[in-house]
Amino acid sequence: MYNSKIIGVGRYIPKRVVTNFDLEKMMDTSDAWIRERTGIVERHFADVDSGETNSYMGAEASKIALKMAGLQASDIDFIIYATLSPEYFFPGAGCGLQQKLGIPGVGALDVRDQCTGFIYALTTADQFIKTGMYKNILVVGGEVQSTGINLTTAGRDVAVLFGDGAGAVVLTRTEEKDKGILRGNLHADGNFMKELSVENPGSGTHPFVDVEMVENGSIFPHMVGRMVFKHAVTRFPEVIRETFADAGLPVSDVDLVIPHQANERITEAVQMRLELPREKVFRNIHKYGNTTAASIPIALSEALEEGLIKDNSLVCLAAFGSGFTWGASLIRW
H or E element at residue 99:
helix 93-101
pLDDT of residue 214: 86
Nearest to 20 by CA among 284, 306, 236, 289: 289
Nearest to 237 by CA among 263, 261, 192, 269: 269
Across the range 13-19, mean pLDDT stands at: 98
pLDDT of residue 146: 97
> Coil, strand, or helix at residue 183?
strand
pLDDT of residue 196: 94
Domains and CATH numbers, the chain: 3-174 (3.40.47.10), 180-332 (3.40.47.10)
pLDDT tens, residue by residue, 64-109: 999 999 999 999 999 999 999 999 999 999 999 999 999 999 999 9
Say which DSSP state 92 is in. -
> Coil, strand, or helix at residue 34?
helix
Measured distance CA(320)–CA(328) in Å, rounded = 9
Active site residues: 115, 260, 290
* Chain mean pLDDT for the chain: 97
Quick check: 209 pLDDT over 90? no
> Coil, strand, or helix at residue 275?
coil
pLDDT of residue 136: 98
- Contact predicate 146/26, CB 8 Å: no
pLDDT confidence bin for 313, thresholds 50/70/90: very high
Burial-class residue 226 by CB neighbours within 10 Å (0-12, 13-18, 19+): exposed
pLDDT of residue 1: 81
pLDDT of residue 27: 96
pLDDT confidence bin for 15, thresholds 50/70/90: very high
- Contact predicate 86/110, CB 8 Å: yes
Across the range 120-148, mean pLDDT stands at: 98
pLDDT of residue 177: 87
- Contact predicate 246/185, CB 8 Å: yes
Quick check: 208 pLDDT over 90? no
pLDDT of residue 297: 98
DSSP per position, 110-169: EE--GGGHHHHHHHHHHHHHHTTS-SEEEEEEEE--GGGS--SGGGHHHHTTB--EEEEE
pLDDT tens, residue by residue, 224-274: 999 999 999 999 999 999 999 999 999 999 999 999 999 999 999 999 999
pLDDT of residue 104: 97
